Structure 1
Amino acid sequence: MNSRRIFLRRAGLSGLALSLPLSQTLAAMESQKDDKILRVAIMGLGSYGSRVAEAMVNSKRAKLVGLISGTPSKVETWKQKYGIPDKNCYNYENFDQIKNNPDIDAVYVITPNSLHKPYSIRVAKAGKHVICEKPMALNEAEGREMVAACKTAGVHLLVGYRMHFEAKTMEVVRQQRAGEFGKTLFFQGLSGFIIGDPTQWRLNYELAGGGSMMDIGIYSINGARYMLGEEPIWVTAQEVKTDPVKFKEGVDETITFQMGFPSGAVASCLSTYALNNLDKFYLNGTKGFAEMQPSTGYGPIKAWTNKGPIEAEHVTHQTTQMDEMAAIILDGKKPLIPVDGEEGLKDLVIVDAIYEAVKTGKKIRLA
């Protein structure tokens, strides 16, 4: 009994636990493990950074503790709003100093796409875990550099795939993997909206690395992969551009693309910056179907199958995402659908192939 008491004291449990049955004591220990908090700095205090920060207010496992921005006025506003101390605030020139800050565990990189690779690698070299917004990089080559850098540094590289944790999405995936739709042979993904300000970075090739495909089309690429549960073996694609002034060279307005899978399943997808009301996934099999509309918007997601609607409480996606990512980093949790750098890399391989298919008009085989 003495050894058990010493063990419990070292585990940090209260004296009350000494009188509990062993099963309750172990449950208390598990609960204590779940109380570990991932301390996060956000890099890039724009609109999506704001959304993530607001979501973390309600997070149980992740807390906003640091800021990285090139705009001092934003840093000052955020410091006041979220109670961030001066010592946890950095700019893009000096943020390498986070290596000396034990109060920050991870950095969420929410910058224009072209900055994902260099900034993520700097974060990794500073010894902090990297959470990077999608797309992870501009292309496969950059993505491989990021994966290698994080492995060398011994830190996690996670990608902001919030839909991988959304409840209704997870239920559709569960049903597909359980065979409830039979053999799934067709996926349709429609991803698009009419983009606004023509001067924004998403329409700047140097910053975005492309156009609608790099922003919204990647949802259909990723969705096809996790909805069908396979990796594509070929792609074809076609581009349409109705406004070459707004969508300059290298910035795609609309791309339709198709993917083929080892089972014989095919995916037919659309990515566009020219049409609204395009946020739909449709999965069809030999025994049933699933449909989601909206499928990737901020919510609530609506989903139904041939058996009826899928019901689940709507929780802010980024809140769930940050809690789950904290569990991955702190507890070693393995998610049903990966969100690591290797997952992000698979999407980049397909993006590269789609752009090659558009350029050449050929069916591109994937390794």
Structure 2
Amino acid sequence: MKSRRDFLQRAAASALALPFLSSFKTEQYNPEAYGKQYQGPILRVAIMGLGSYGSRVAEAMKDCKQAKLTGVISGTPSKIKDWQSKYSIPEKNCYNYENFDNIKNNPDIDAVYVITPNALHHDQVIRVAKAGKHVICEKPMAINAQEGQQMVDACKKANVKLLVGYRMHFEPKTLEIVRMRKDGEFGKILFFQGLSGFTIGDPNQWRLNKQLAGGGAMMDIGIYSINGARYMVGEEPIWVTAQETKNNPQKFKAGVDETIQFQLGFPGGAVSSCLSTYSMNSLDRFFLNGEKGYAELQPSTGYGPIKGRTHRGELDQPHVTHQTVQMDEMAGIILQGKQPIVPVDGEEGVKDMKIIDAIYQAVQSGKKVELKL
């Protein structure tokens, strides 16, 4: 398997996308509302980085009601030409990495979705903010918390919004578990387990390049278990311990983690045990345990359909293409000030980066690292 994208795409092979409900909330799902006309403002989006995931987002946006693809930014002229033809994008809305600052003069673009290698996010997001456009940044938002905070500060200074591509924050079964936890249906939360991993392929890809990726499996797939622990438990962790295993140092060179087990402690007493790896397949599972019940998602973060159950039975919320929901909901956040059930702002991304920084610190020191998020 070549990459996380391939892993998630394979998990999505049987998915059937439904039309998007613009006002969707898990606890208020109304099948009759599907397909209704949307009369509100449209978020006009340029995608930066026209790789496999950028293509997935573009395809999903065809079904959006509140967001529309209107521009592209790429360093590959042939990709720009292909996207122009496929998505009817005018020449004046096409940019490369040298001239995209000129979007500041383009009224056809309200926001840029940055989908490039991790180490490029910091400078690109800041440039977009200086151009006066809102930013959606794919996760991880940066390669460390310091860079992430600089991105947040730059967007605040420019008076633009910064969102991070946390598509699972809008996923129906995930939100149903969050609702049940908030309503006390699991009782006191005791334990969370997150398993995130697959066997990565091409050893020459950018995800195994420390300079571009900022790390290894933890940056790419482990962040799902980090973020999932936070929204499933419903608290911010206060300490972390971690252990690294590296069986293939030729493929996973210095600074590129192969497998890390990590543990998080929460102020209410709950603990989590998580695994992040590039060397094992079939790892995509969340499990939440409380005094009164439990919840399980497997697959938990693939493109869908997500499958889940709780002590009350199977979860049957509908599958909707994740990126379609994400982009419509983010349009509502940017243009209408909507408040998501689980945050997707830059501050949310910085918290995950602080935990990743602490995990790497714990691996190196072998000691428990205190967290202050």
> Do these two structures clear the TM 0.5 threshold for a shared fold by scoring above it?
yes
Any runs of at least 4 consecutive aligned residues in structure 1 with deviations exceeding 6 A, and if so which?
A: none
Higher share in helix: 1
What's the CA shift for 1:135?
0.4
The corresponding residue for 1:26 is none
Whether 2:303 is the aligned partner of 1:292: answer: no
User: Whose radius of gyration is greater, 1 or 2?
Assistant: 1
Match of 2:189 among 170, 184, 188: 184
AA aligned to 2:72 is: L
1 CA distance for matches of 2:214 and 2:110? Answer: 29
What's the CA shift for 1:108?
0.1
AA aligned to 1:333 is: K
2 CA distance for matches of 1:366 and 1:158? Answer: 23
Whether 2:218 is the aligned partner of 1:213: answer: yes
AA aligned to 1:61 is: Q
CA offsets 1:37-74 (integer angstroms, 9 cap, x no match) = 00000000000000000000001111000000000000
Whether 2:131 is the aligned partner of 1:126: answer: yes
2 CA distance for matches of 1:78 and 1:326? Answer: 22
AA aligned to 1:277 is: S
What's the CA shift for 1:258?
0.1
The corresponding residue for 1:151 is 156
Match of 1:330 among 320, 328, 335: 335
The corresponding residue for 1:266 is 271
2 CA distance for matches of 1:313 and 1:174? Answer: 16
CA offsets 1:244-296 (integer angstroms, 9 cap, x no match) = 00000000000000000000000000000000000000000000000000000
Contact 2:38–2:65 under 8 Å retained in 1: no
Match of 1:313 among 318, 336, 343: 318
What's the CA shift for 1:356?
0.1
Match of 2:174 among 169, 182, 185: 169
1 CA distance for matches of 2:185 and 2:278? Answer: 35
The corresponding residue for 2:31 is none
The corresponding residue for 1:365 is 370
1 CA distance for matches of 2:287 and 2:39? Answer: 36
Whether 2:35 is the aligned partner of 1:40: answer: no
The corresponding residue for 2:90 is 85
What's the CA shift for 1:141?
0.5
How do 1:49-68 residues align onto structure 2 when only pairs under 5 Å count? 49-68=54-73
2 CA distance for matches of 1:345 and 1:34? Answer: 34
Higher relative contact order by CA 8 Å / sep ≥ 6: 1 or 2?
2
Match of 1:243 among 248, 260, 264: 248
Structure 2 segments unaligned to the other structure (5+ residues) = 1-35
CA offsets 1:197-226 (integer angstroms, 9 cap, x no match) = 111100000000000000000000000000
2 CA distance for matches of 1:276 and 1:174? Answer: 30
Q: TM-score, normalised by structure 2?
A: 0.89
What SS does the corresponding residue of 2:281 show, helix, strand or coil?
coil
2 CA distance for matches of 1:343 and 1:185? Answer: 23
Whether 2:224 is the aligned partner of 1:224: answer: no
What's the CA shift for 1:33?
8.2
Whether 2:118 is the aligned partner of 1:113: answer: yes
Whether 2:287 is the aligned partner of 1:278: answer: no
What's the CA shift for 1:35?
2.2
Q: How many residues align?
A: 337
The corresponding residue for 1:25 is none
What's the CA shift for 1:313?
1.1
CA offsets 1:153-185 (integer angstroms, 9 cap, x no match) = 000000000000000000000001100011011
AA aligned to 2:335 is: L
1 CA distance for matches of 2:37 and 2:220? Answer: 39
Structure 1 segments unaligned to the other structure (5+ residues) = 1-30
What's the CA shift for 1:312?
1.2
The corresponding residue for 2:17 is none
Alpha carbons of 1:34 and 1:189: their partners in 2 closer, same or farther (altered >3 Å)? farther
AA aligned to 1:329 is: I
The corresponding residue for 2:6 is none
The corresponding residue for 1:104 is 109
AA aligned to 2:303 is: Y
Q: TM-score, normalised by structure 1?
A: 0.91
1 CA distance for matches of 2:38 and 2:56? Answer: 27
1 CA distance for matches of 2:262 and 2:142? Answer: 20
1 CA distance for matches of 2:49 and 2:38? Answer: 30
What SS does the corresponding residue of 1:93 show, helix, strand or coil?
coil
2 CA distance for matches of 1:309 and 1:257? Answer: 29
AA aligned to 2:250 is: V
